[in-house]
């Protein structure tokens, strides 16, 4: 199943625990190799700084059958960006050993967020290759989410709080979310065009564009999003909402039970164009991504991943 395998590790992930997980992974792949009739070439590469994984995936990926991302959502995004620079027939299959904090991509594809459990999933070979869609905003590819305004401020604030406190879990997202909803509920202006529709002039609190379903450590802003349907899911929240109303919506979004609220609009599209009068909080797969104009498109069936379910 794995063939020639390149494991890209972010040793700093999960407060440095990823290095221990990598040592365990080496033993797991050694056991897999002993069960296979053909030799398995296994290589580990460790990142040092930002975008290292992109460079490794781009330059070394074509020589492997499988690239394993051992880290969090930032690492898998970097790996995807590296592989998407290659011709489609040169892109290896991606596997994931989650070792981040939110691990939203792992949640979406059904991989256990506990490293020991995800390694058991890998060792059992009970994984299915699935070809997934990939989003692109300007020159950056994304697997899960692109968002603007309030929800981006919450996501970026959660990341900062994780770094400062070393805490993890949904409670951080809720803490940042409640602070933003009470104290920073600013209305943003934008022009949004979906596919070939007429441009819309929006006043919004938040705008989320999803490829995968999970966001912010398990929240389901667009609960019908799918990695395999060839469409982006778009949600935006319009004025006016009181702080208490906004907090109730946030809590309901944990399980995707917020969709019938009259201040929320949901759409699906293959393309979107967004123009802003000035830069606002924006994140792409958890990383800050500032601009005043965004060309966004969904590219179907671009990457093959190994997953324990069918991502529906």
- Dump pLDDT digits (tens) for 139-165: 999 999 999 998 889 878 877 777 777
Predicted local distance difference test score (pLDDT) of residue 310:
44
Name residues whose C-beta falls within 8 Å of residue 114's C-beta, 6 or more positions apart in sequence: none
∠ CA 278-133-289, nearest 5°, is 20
- Cβ neighbour number for residue 80 with a 10 Å cutoff: 26
Integer Cα distance of 104 and 79 in angstroms: 15
Element (H, E) at 30: helix 18-35
Which of helix, strand or coil describes residue 164?
Answer: helix
Integer Cα distance of 19 and 9 in angstroms: 8
Q: Residue 265 burial (CB < 10 Å; 0-12/13-18/19+)?
A: middle
Q: Where are the domains of the chain?
A: 5-126, 145-299
CATH number of 5-126: 3.40.50.10330
Integer Cα distance of 136 and 153 in angstroms: 21
Which of helix, strand or coil describes residue 184?
Answer: coil
Integer Cα distance of 136 and 146 in angstroms: 9
Check: CB of residue 146 under 8 Å from CB of residue 283: yes
Tokens standing for residue 200 = 């819309």
Fold of 145-299: Tumour Suppressor Smad4 (2.60.200)
Name residues of the chain where pLDDT drops below 70.
Answer: 166, 168-170, 309-312
Which of helix, strand or coil describes residue 116?
Answer: helix
């Amino acid at each position: 199943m794995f063939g020639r395998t390149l494991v890209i590790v972010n040793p700093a992930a999960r407060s440095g625990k990823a290095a221990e997980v990598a040592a365990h992974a080496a033993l797991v792949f050694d056991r897999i190799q002993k069960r296979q009739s053909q030799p398995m070439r296994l290589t580990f590469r460790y990142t040092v700084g930002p975008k290292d994984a992109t460079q490794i995936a781009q330059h070394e990926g074509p020589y492997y059958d499988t690239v394993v991302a051992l880290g969090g959502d930032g690492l898998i995004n970097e790996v995807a960006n590296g592989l998407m620079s290659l011709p489609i027939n040169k892109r290896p299959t991606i596997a994931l050993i989650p070792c981040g904090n939110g691990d939203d991509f792992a949640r979406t594809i059904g991989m256990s967020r506990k490293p020991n459990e995800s390694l058991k999933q890998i060792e059992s070979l009970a994984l299915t290759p699935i070809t997934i869609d990939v989003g692109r905003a300007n020159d950056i590819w994304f697997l899960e989410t692109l968002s603007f305004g309030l929800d981006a401020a919450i996501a970026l604030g959660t990341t900062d709080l994780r770094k400062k406190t070393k805490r993890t879990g949904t409670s951080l997202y809720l803490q940042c979310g409640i602070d933003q909803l009470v104290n920073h509920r600013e209305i943003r202006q934008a022009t949004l065009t979906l596919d070939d529709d007429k441009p819309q002039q929006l006043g919004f609190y938040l705008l989320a564009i999803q490829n995968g379903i999970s966001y912010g450590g398990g929240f389901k802003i667009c609960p019908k999003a799918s990695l395999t349907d060839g469409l982006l899911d778009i949600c935006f929240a319009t004025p006016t909402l009181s702080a208490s109303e906004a907090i109730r919506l946030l809590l309901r979004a944990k399980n995707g039970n917020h969709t019938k609220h009259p201040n929320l609009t949901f759409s699906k599209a293959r393309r979107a164009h967004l123009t802003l009068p000035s830069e606002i909080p924006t994140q792409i797969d958890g990383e800050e991504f500032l601009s005043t104009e965004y060309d966004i498109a969904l590219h179907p069936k671009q990457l093959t991943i190994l997953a324990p379910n069918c991502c529906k």
